[in-house]
Amino acid sequence: MSTDSFVPTATLKRTLQPRWVFAIALGSAVGWGAFILPFDWLAAGGLGGTLLGFLIGGALIAVIAMSYGAVIRALPVTGGGVAFALASLGRVHAFVAGWCLTLGYAGIVALNASAMSLVFRMAMPDLMMQLKLYSVAGWDIYLPEVIVSVLFLLIFAWINARGVALSGRLQFLACVIMLLAVTAIMIAAGAYFMTGATPIPPAFPADVSPVAAIATIVAFAPWAYVGFDNVPQTAGEFNFSPRKALALLLWGVVAATFIYMAMTVATAIAVGDQPELYADTAWPPAVAITGIAGPIGMILMLIAVSMGVLTGLNGFYVSTSRVLLTMGRAKMLPRAFAALHPRHGTPVVGIAFTLLICVVTPWFGRAALLWIVDMTSFGITVAYFYTCYCAFQLGRSGRLPGMTSQQASSAGLQATGLIGCAFAVIFMLLLLVPGSPGALGAPSLIALGAWIVMGVVFFLARRKSYLSTSDEELHRSVFH
């Protein structure tokens, strides 16, 4: 369909309810890793180190979430990550934020589609590991897995094109199911622990100091919570006061922390003092929990990981398309990206673009995809910095471009914003400094360099149209 049949100047429908927004924050933050990686976390940090690491990491993210909540209240607009950079540092930084978020979010859409095929591989290995096509970076690519990934990309593109009300309802339902599954797993693990059949796991690894063990888990926190920041991208569709955004963000972070800690405790109880029995299995947490709960344990794990993956896939589809919409409205991208479907009022061009760039990724394999996704973490932390700096500016002056009224200056918000900026810089350094726990590998650094070059080229190509737009028109397009 030609974009001429879409509505380029219409506004998005304000249909997002508070519980759906909470589900976007939680479901986007919790994904594959919460149910696959607890065994690795226990090996690296021990039970005590992992739990303390997530408590500290969650607190760090909560500080950044406080900045997001304050700025959403001041600027409840679509594509908030772009708008916040524009309001605080101007046009060039707004483009940088949009470029970072688009590729970062789209990369996670692709990663979740790939993860869905792995869920099917774990559930039905004989069926999924047939018709091998080729290998990329040591990863075998099978036709059934490609089909599953592409199918889920198509399904969620269709869901998002039909309207945010449908995707919001599905997000909330999936989060409820995920929380129920995690709670059931915890109850099963707790019941097993009460029998006295398993010893209390060690608090820290024998060969690692407690401080180092905790630091290893804290270093993972920035990427464990990526996705809570999807909320500001949808702020223009809230059907409630933006004052509630802060509480929804913080509850999302709290719920995500609960899931990470609950799965760690359940895995620790199931593994006990015999981790060597599970080290070589395909999915150690699920195998261990099945050992104490029987087949229902595997079913609960499959349900939980499936819901975690699907909520991430849906949530990042929503946020990617909204960032693209805002960039189209601002003329950072071709004007077609500003179009909305005349019936459903959805950014269908952005949704279709996200689908097109993600649908090719299953053919390259998960190993190659991880190189790209790893480096996109850098881009998302850049957006963290911009938002926290915007919060600092708001706290200092009480006003930002696009605001309808003056606010009182706030020393507390200034401090929160500056602390958030510092955390964002630390998160970036964890990715870039060789030898740090989160340091990017050579393939990811090469991908990051290529991404930056592409951004420069694209900015230069759009420079005339974007920079020649008057401040009045630009602010009207982004802030209203």
Q: What is the pLDDT of residue 2?
A: 42
Of 281, 313, 343, the residue nearest 106 (C-alpha): 313
Using pLDDT thresholds of 50, 70 and 90, give the confidence band for residue 7.
very low
The arithmetic mean of pLDDT across residues 294-302, rounded, is: 95
* Extents of the domains making up the chain: 3-479
The arithmetic mean of pLDDT across residues 430-434, rounded, is: 86
Percent above pLDDT 90 for the chain: 60
The angle formed by the CA atoms of residues 381, 216 and 372, to the nearest 5 degrees, is 40
The arithmetic mean of pLDDT across residues 432-439, rounded, is: 82
Percent above pLDDT 70 for the chain: 98
The arithmetic mean of pLDDT across residues 429-455, rounded, is: 86
How far apart are alpha carbons 5 and 3 in whole angstroms? 5
Q: What is the pLDDT of residue 199?
A: 82
What backbone phi and psi angles, to 5 degrees, belong to 140?
-80, 135
Residues 31-70: pLDDT tens digits? Answer: 888 999 999 999 888 999 999 999 999 999 999 999 999 9
Q: Give yes or no for residue 368 having a pLDDT over 80.
A: no
Q: Give yes or no for residue 366 having a pLDDT over 80.
A: no
Cβ atoms of 51 and 265 within 8 Å: the answer is yes
- Point out the least confidently predicted range of 150-159, 167-176, 180-189, 360-369: 360-369
Q: What is the pLDDT of residue 4?
A: 41
Beta-bridge mates of residue 238: 16
Q: What is the pLDDT of residue 230?
A: 93
Name which residue leads in pLDDT, 395 or 403: 395
With a CB cutoff of 8 Å and minimum separation 6, the contacts of 405 are none
The arithmetic mean of pLDDT across residues 93-120, rounded, is: 91
The arithmetic mean of pLDDT across residues 134-154, rounded, is: 91
Helix count and strand count (H, E) for the chain: 17, 2
Q: What is the pLDDT of residue 32?
A: 85
How far apart are alpha carbons 236 and 471 in whole angstroms? 20
Of 18, 78, 26, the residue nearest 347 (C-alpha): 78
The Cβ of residue 137 has, within 10 Å, a number of other Cβ atoms equal to: 13
CATH classification code of 3-479? 1.20.1740.10
Cβ atoms of 400 and 74 within 8 Å: the answer is yes
Cβ atoms of 116 and 309 within 8 Å: the answer is yes
Q: Give yes or no for residue 9 having a pLDDT over 50.
A: no
Q: What is the pLDDT of residue 386?
A: 96
- What is the greatest pairwise CA distance in the chain? 71
Residues 221-275: pLDDT tens digits? Answer: 778 898 899 999 999 999 999 999 999 999 999 999 999 999 999 999 999 888 8
Q: Give yes or no for residue 452 having a pLDDT over 70.
A: yes
With a CB cutoff of 8 Å and minimum separation 6, the contacts of 29 are 224, 225, 226, 227, 228, 252, 253, 256
Q: What is the pLDDT of residue 359?
A: 93
The arithmetic mean of pLDDT across residues 114-131, rounded, is: 88
Q: Give yes or no for residue 6 having a pLDDT over 70.
A: no
Cβ atoms of 152 and 355 within 8 Å: the answer is no
Q: Give yes or no for residue 437 having a pLDDT over 90.
A: no
Q: How far is CA 277 from the centre of its chain?
A: 32
Q: Give yes or no for residue 128 having a pLDDT over 90.
A: no
- Distances 296 to 184, 231, 258, 288, 301 between C-alpha atoms, Å: 10, 34, 22, 12, 9
